[in-house]
Amino acid sequence: MNKKITITTQFSVFENFEYLPMDIQNLMEQAIAVRKNAYAPYSKFKVGAALFLDNGKIVLGSNQENAAYPSGLCAERVAVFQAGAVYPDVKILKMAITAASETNKTVAPIPPCGACRQAIAEYEIKQETPIEIYFMGETGSIYKSDSLRNLLPFMFDKNFL
């Protein structure tokens, strides 16, 4: 007989920026600042990501587009690859993401794309410590996940290889 399985994932909702813990307000402010550096002449959609590492450092990323569209890269992967390149043995503890469009105001939390979830998963598995992920639009509420796992049920990882 067939049976169904149900997977539930959980997020915390912060009604607005002021409700975030102070350290996350600071991290999100850095994501907002670096979002402005996004190179997004094609989509006009700017994304900023800020990582807080276990050594106290903050690593930033913004999306970088290309005339050959698939050659561009999302903000989240710019940030996690930068962290992996510069601090290969340091855990990523927290991540703040914000996205803003020049054509329509983003008021809902904007989650990382599927490819970025897979990339973040690699680091979470490697470091054996969950990454807190906070994401928002330009304004409005912020969603928090205690781990990348909430964003990627049925994650593919090295254990399958």
Scanning 43-51, 82-90, 118-126, 138-146 for contacts with ligand THU by CB under 6 A, the matching segment is 43-51
Going by C-alpha positions, the residue among 125, 126, 138, 27 that lies closest to residue 79 is: 27
31 near ligand THU, judged by CB under 6 A: no
Beta-sheet pairing, 58-62 with 132-136: unpaired
What mask of x and - would describe binding to ligand THU in positions 123 to 152, judged by CB under 6 A? ------------------------------
Q: What is the Cα–Cα distance from 46 to 62, expressed in whole angstroms?
A: 7
φ/ψ of 119, rounded to 5, equals: -70, -40
Residue 76 is among the residues annotated as catalytic for this protein: yes
Query: Judged by CB under 6 A, does residue 45 bind ligand THU?
Result: yes
Closest CB to ligand THU among 37 and 54? 37
Residue of 20, 27, 40, 131 interacting with ligand THU (CB under 6 A): 40
Residue 92: partners with Cβ closer than 8 Å, 6 or more residues away: 51, 52, 53, 54, 59, 80, 83, 123, 124, 127, 131
Q: Select the span of 4-12, 23-31, 39-47, 124-132 touching ligand THU (CB under 6 A).
A: 39-47
Q: Which stretch binds ligand THU (CB under 6 A): 79-87, 108-116, 138-146, 149-157?
A: 108-116
**CA–CA distance, 69 with 17 (Å, rounded to integer):** 33
Rounded-to-integer distance, Cα 136 and Cα 105, Å: 12
Q: Which residues participate in catalysis according to the annotation?
A: 76
The footprint of ligand THU (CB under 6 A) covers 40, 43, 45, 47, 63, 65, 72, 74-76, 112-113, 116
